[in-house]
Amino acid sequence: MCRMDFAALTIFPDIFKAYWEHGILRRAIAQGRISATAVDIRAFTADRHHTTDDRPFGGGCGMVMKPEPLAAALRDTRRRLPRAVTVLLTPQGRVFDQPVAAQLAAAEGLILICGRYEGVDERISDTLIDLELSIGDYVLTGGELAALVVMDAVTRLIPGVLGGEESAAKDSFEGHLLEHAHYTRPQVFEGQAVPEVLLSGNHRAIEAWRRETALTRTVLRRPDLLAARPLCAEDIATLRELAERIERIIEAQHQRGVGPLSGGQ
Ligand code: SAM
C-alpha cells in the first residue's frame, strides 16, 4: 500500500488539526494511507520566551524567523522521516500546480516549512531545503494555508486515497483540459434544465458531450492549457466543429446586418 508521511513545521500547529479531521484527508489518515503531524517550532527554542523571530540585519520593518529553532525542528523531523522531501512555502518559490502535485505524490514523505512575518532566514533556504513552493502570485500572512493546499492536492493523488467513484483521472489539469460541467438533481432548477443528453442513458453520447464541454470551457477559460500540449485528432475535430458553429453564428448575424461594419447595431 502506498503511504505518505506529512509533517508541517509551524508556530501555529492548531491551525492544521481542524482540516485534518474532515473529509478525504481524515479518511486517508484513518486508513493509514497518510500520516500528518504538525511540529511546533517553538518546542525547539532555547530561551524561556520561546522566541522564533528576530529583527532583520540591515534594519527595515518586520521580523524574520530565526534559523536555529527551525533548523532544530527540521533535523528532528528528518530523523523521523529520513526520506521526506523538504519544502519551504514561500511566494518566491516555483508555482505549485497539478504536475508538481503528481511528482510530490511519488515521494515517501513531505516536510512543509511554514513561514511567518517577513519569512525565514535565508540560510535555511540556502542549505536545508529541497524545493521552494508558492501557491500563487499573492502574499499570505503565513505558510500554513499554503502547506494545507499542497497536502490536500498531493493526498488525493496517492493511489488508493480516492475511491473509484472519486477518481482523479478526469479532474481539471489531468491531461490538458479543464473538467466537463457537472449536474445533479433536481432535473430543473429555477427554470434551468439539465442538458437532455445526460438523461439519455446513452453512454457514448454522454462521453462525447463531456469531452466537448471540457474542450469548450478550456478554450474559453484557459486556452494556455491547450497551447501547452499536442491535441489528439478527435479533439482537433471537435474544436474545428466548434469553430464552424461559431462561424455560422457570426455569418447569420452578418446576414441580419449585424457586424463590425454596421457598428454592432
Ligand atoms: N516577505 C515575504 C516576501 O515578500 O516574499 C513574504 C512573507 S509572507 C508575509 C509570510 C509567509 O507566508 C512566508 O514566509 C510563506 O511561508 C507564506 N506565504 C505567503 N504567501 C505565500 C504564497 N503565495 N505561497 C506560499 N507561501 C506563502
Contact (Cβ atoms closer than 8 angstroms) between residue 36 and residue 110: no
Choosing from 11, 120, 129, 140 the residue with most ligand 1 atoms within 8 A of its CB, the one to mutate for a pocket test is: 140
User: What's the pTM value of the predicted model, to 2 decimals?
Assistant: 0.91
Range with lowest mean pLDDT among 9-13, 90-94, 173-177, 215-219: 173-177
Contact (Cβ atoms closer than 8 angstroms) between residue 66 and residue 52: yes
What are the tens digits of pLDDT across the range 65-89?
999 999 999 999 999 999 999 999 9
Annotated active-site residue 91? The verdict is yes
Annotated active-site residue 156? The verdict is yes
Choose the catalytic residue: 54, 171, 179, 212. Answer: 171
User: Is 136 near ligand 1, meaning CB less than 6 Å away?
Assistant: yes
Question: Which pLDDT belongs to residue 261?
Answer: 57
Question: Which pLDDT belongs to residue 231?
Answer: 85
Answer yes or no: is pLDDT of 191 > 80: yes
Annotated active-site residue 118? The verdict is yes
What are the tens digits of pLDDT across the range 117-158?
999 999 999 999 999 999 999 999 999 999 999 999 999 999
What are the tens digits of pLDDT across the range 218-231?
999 999 988 877 88
User: Is 13 near ligand 1, meaning CB less than 6 Å away?
Assistant: no
Question: Which pLDDT belongs to residue 257?
Answer: 87
Helix/strand/coil (H/E/C) assignment for every residue in the chain: CCCEEEEEEECCCHHHHHHHCCHHHHHHHHCCCEEEEEEEHHHHCCCCCCCCEECCCCCCCCCEECHHHHHHHHHHHHHHCCCCEEEEEEEEEEECCHHHHHHHHCCCEEEEEECCCCCECHHHHHHHCCEEEECCCCCCCCCHHHHHHHHHHHHCCCCCCCCHHHCHHHCCCCCCCCCCCCCCCCCEECCEECCHHHHCCCHHHHHHHHHHHHHHHHHHHCHHHHHCCCCCHHHHHHHHHHHHHHHHHHHHHHHCCCCHHHCCC
Under the banding of pLDDT at 50, 70 and 90, the label for residue 176 is confident
User: Is 147 near ligand 1, meaning CB less than 6 Å away?
Assistant: no
Answer yes or no: is pLDDT of 170 > 90: no
Query: Structural domains in the chain?
Result: 4-156 (3.40.1280.10), 189-255 (1.10.1270.20)
Answer yes or no: is pLDDT of 263 > 60: no
Answer yes or no: is pLDDT of 38 > 90: yes
Pairing state between β 188-189 and 192-193 = antiparallel
